[in-house]
Amino acid sequence: MSHLLTWVLFTPLAGAAVLVMIPGRAHAALKLWANLIALAGFLISLPLAMRFDRDAAGFQFVERAIWIPAIGASYHVGIDGISLLLVLLTTLIGFLAVLSSWNSIRDKLKEYYVLLLVLQTAMIGVFVALDFFLFYVFWEVVLAPMYFLIGIWGGPRRLYAALKLFLYTLAGSVLMLLGLLTLYFQHQQQFGFYTFDIGALMAVQMTPAMEQWVFWALFLGFAIKVPMFPFHTWLPDAHVEAPTAGSVILAAVMLKMGTYGFIRFSLPLLPKASVNPWIAQTLAVLSIIAILYGAFVSLMQHDWKKLVAYSSVSHLGFCTLGIFSLNPNGIAGSVLQQVNHGISTGLLFLLVGLIYERRHTRQIEDFGGVASVMPRYATVFAVAMLSSAGLPLLNGFIGEFTILAGAFEANRTWAAFAVFGIVLGAAYLLWLYQRTMLGKLVHEENRHLPDLTLRETLTMAPLLALVFWIGVYPKPLFEILERPVNQIVERVKPGYFADRQAELR
């Protein structure tokens, strides 16, 4: 099948177009179609992994077409190992998010599923675009469906949360646009033609001051999305108010758009600014603050979902720390941890959603002893918690340790602080588990909570399988990542590998 990547990209959107034509009252048909399309979207992305050539340099499945010649924008897509993993994460999580909505969404079904599917295409687009303009379009399109998902199907403070998300990200994207346009005009000045092609933009030469300015502009756009401290306060509100599928997608995929932006754009396009010791140091320190701060604040949450949201801040801190370690272990570990966070936090949000559907509260104090009535739920939750806490043989550990190895190579003090974050991670997760699952059943309302249904178990089963698979045999993922990561490191730090070779001799 040629144009595979285009198929992967537009299957959800095409499905959404058909969905629009199904009458809004035909609930069963709407649900069924949305699930089928989401499943198809996932299945069609699998050949990407099967046909992906780990040893090939550069991008694969590349497709290119003229789009807006007047401004030099083109439809240019392709993936390397980094995008591959994130695309697969997106198609899987997208499907599970649709599946998880079966019972939880009861009104405006049609609009809901249309938005989810549009969102799906936009997120995939972000990870496959090789044209900065195309990337920017997808990046902005992601925002709208999420805004409505929170604003319409969200909790009581949904309007505040949606607006906060919107304003925060919009401020970031406007700055990103400015940085992008600077690159674009610089390219025109130096080469005489307009293009948004990432490969072409890499040739742009800028004064250090200009390059740093562009770096900070892009940084704000990406950092707000990640979110890095201190731009994170939209996240807890958005998560708490979002419907379950929204939270899952937000945490598992959307946050990765920011970290992906750093890896795909900031580092290769602005290598001199990225290696500037002052900049790298600042970003590493912000990452470490996020790790510790997110963990400390998680510790004190009363709202189950908010706790998981703050834990995301902490985990994403590891991801950004890995990136700004600027070495192969740091970056590869970071991408792996982005996938791992998608899996484990995706699970955690699904679990919170399931309990909320049953009890209509997320206050930790309203639970306790749930393990006695929902043993299967408690088991899945235990695995998700341990995965998130980075227990060896589960996925989280692999990413964390690789990042730490990278961070340690860059700066020992960073690594020491980050390791401390792992201690705290165990603390807030175990405490959450104890207060919700263990102990005696104190609230009568919880006595008759039904355990996981078959559909619910099946929703989480693929993620659970991945938790163990990545934990025990992550080697294929490292192989997929090796080439693109090395390329980026060589781009940012020319001669890095030659120096390492010399050092070994």
Partner 1 sequence: MNLWLIPTLPLIGAAVNGLFGRRMPRMAINAVAVLSVVASFLLALNVFNNLGDQPIVERYFTWIASGALTIPVEFAVDRLTMVMLLIVTGIGSLIHVYAVGYMAHEGGYYRFFSYLNLFMFFMLVLVLANNYLLLFVGWEGVGLCSYLLIGFYFLENWATSAGNKAFIVNRIGDFGFMLAMLLMFNQFGSLDIPVVLEGAKALPVEHSAGMLTAIGLLLLVGAAGKSAQIPLYVWLPDAMAGPTPVSALIHAATMVTAGVYVVARSSAIFTHAPIAMDTVAIIGLATAVMAALIGVLQNDIKKVFAYSTVSQLGYMFLALGVGAFSAGIYHVMTHAFFKALLFLGAGSVIHALEGEQDIRNMGGLRSKIPITFVTLMAAGLAIAGFPYTSGYFSKDEILLAAHHHSPWMFWVGVFTAGLTAFYVFRCLLLTFFGEYRGHAHHPPHESPPVMWIPLAILAVLSLGGGFIAIPHYLEPVLGHAGQAHDPTLVIIATSAGLIGIAIAAWMYLIAPGVPDAIARTFKGLYNFVYNKFYVDEAYNAAVIQPVIEGSRIFLWRGVDAGLIDGIVNGVGKRSRGLGGILRLAQSGNIRNYAAWVVMGSILVIVFLGFSGGAK
From the list 15-23, 103-111, 125-133, 364-372, the region that binds partner 1 by CB under 8 A is 364-372
Quote the CA–CA distance of 38 and 117 in Å, as a whole number.
8
Handedness of CA 106, 110, 115, 118 (dihedral sign): positive
Question: Which of 39, 152, 210, 299 lies at the binding interface for partner 1 (CB under 8 A)?
Answer: 299
Does 396 engage in binding with partner 1 (CB under 8 A)?
A: no
How many binding residues for partner 1 (CB under 8 A)? 67
Does 71 engage in binding with partner 1 (CB under 8 A)?
A: no
Q: How far is the CB of 202 from partner 1 (least distance, A)?
A: 23
162: CB partners within 8 A, 6+ apart: 147, 148, 150, 151, 154, 238, 241
Quote the CA–CA distance of 425 and 433 in Å, as a whole number.
12
**Residue 78 DSSP SS3:** strand
Binding mask 220-259 for partner 1 (x = CB under 8 A): x---------x-xxx-------------------------
Does 174 engage in binding with partner 1 (CB under 8 A)?
A: yes
155: CB partners within 8 A, 6+ apart: 161, 240, 241, 242
Quote the CA–CA distance of 391 and 13 in Å, as a whole number.
38
CB atoms within 10 A of CB 164: 18
CB atoms within 10 A of CB 24: 11
Q: How many CA atoms lie within 13 A of 93 on its CB side?
A: 36
Quote the CA–CA distance of 258 and 142 in Å, as a whole number.
12
Residue whose token pair is 């979207």: 41
User: Looking only at residues 134 through 173 of this chain, which bind partner 1 when binding is defined by CB under 8 A?
Assistant: 163-164, 167-168, 171
Binding mask 333-352 for partner 1 (x = CB under 8 A): x-------------------
Listed residue (285, 388, 267) closest to 331, CA to CA: 267
Does 423 engage in binding with partner 1 (CB under 8 A)?
A: yes
From the list 71-79, 95-103, 193-201, 437-445, the region that binds partner 1 by CB under 8 A is 437-445
Question: Which of 60, 329, 395, 446 lies at the binding interface for partner 1 (CB under 8 A)?
Answer: 329
Does 474 engage in binding with partner 1 (CB under 8 A)?
A: yes
For residue 363, what is the DSSP state?
B
In the complex with partner 1, the residue whose CB is nearer, 51 or 500, is 500
In the complex with partner 1, the residue whose CB is nearer, 6 or 372, is 372
Q: List phi, psi (to 5°) of 429.
A: -70, -45
In the complex with partner 1, the residue whose CB is nearer, 275 or 430, is 430
Q: What CA dihedral angle connects 391, 432, 360 and 459, to 10 degrees?
A: 10
Does 405 engage in binding with partner 1 (CB under 8 A)?
A: yes
Question: Which of 25, 360, 475, 505 lies at the binding interface for partner 1 (CB under 8 A)?
Answer: 475
Does 369 engage in binding with partner 1 (CB under 8 A)?
A: yes
Does 430 engage in binding with partner 1 (CB under 8 A)?
A: yes
CB atoms within 10 A of CB 268: 17
Q: How far is the CB of 485 from partner 1 (least distance, A)?
A: 8
**What count of residues does the chain have?**
505
> CB of 4 within 8 A of CB of 61?
yes
Question: Which of 127, 215, 293, 324 lies at the binding interface for partner 1 (CB under 8 A)?
Answer: 293
| Angle between helix 81-100 and 328-359 (nearest 10) | 0
Does 210 engage in binding with partner 1 (CB under 8 A)?
A: no
Q: How far is the CB of 23 from partner 1 (least distance, A)?
A: 39
Interface ranges with partner 1 (CB under 8 A): 163-164, 167-168, 171, 174-175, 177-178, 217, 220, 230, 232-234, 293, 296-297, 299-301, 327-329, 332-333, 369, 371-372, 386, 391-393, 397-398, 401-402, 404-405, 408-409, 412, 415-416, 419-420, 422-423, 426-427, 430-431, 434, 437-440, 472-475, 478-479, 481-482, 500, 504
